[in-house]
């Protein structure tokens, strides 16, 4: 399985290649940033402040809230933000919850 912790920084091209596989892409930018700068295709927007709660939701509740199947702890997940700081925090949160 792929662990983003092993490759904390990806280029956009690497991300595009990864998305051809079964990786879940979570964009942790705020909703206003998505509105202003645009959504990355096939990503789920879960603002960083909601992430810990979201990753602990009941899978049905997650699907209802984010319109996407909740990742299992063994699913490959990639986080992104604008500059990289929040995505590193998101990775830390996810790993502390047993993802990766």
Q: Active-site positions?
A: 81
The token pair at 2 is 């792929």
Alpha helices in the chain (DSSP H): 12-18, 31-37, 48-54, 59-66, 85-96
Q: How far apart are CA 44 and CA 41, in angstroms?
A: 9
- The CA–CA distances, whole Å, from 67 to 41, 63, 64, 75 equal 14, 5, 5, 17
């Amino acid at each position: 399985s792929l662990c983003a912790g092993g490759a904390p920084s990806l280029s956009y091209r690497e991300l595009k290649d990864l998305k051809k596989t079964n990786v879940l892409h979570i964009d942790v930018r705020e909703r206003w940033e998505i509105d202003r700068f645009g959504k990355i295709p096939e990503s789920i927007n879960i603002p960083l402040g909601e992430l810990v709660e979201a990753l602990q939701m009941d899978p049905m509740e997650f699907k209802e809230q984010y319109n996407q199947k909740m990742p299992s702890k063994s699913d490959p997940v990639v986080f992104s933000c604008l500059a990289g700081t929040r995505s590193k925090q998101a990775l830390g949160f996810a790993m502390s919850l047993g993802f990766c």
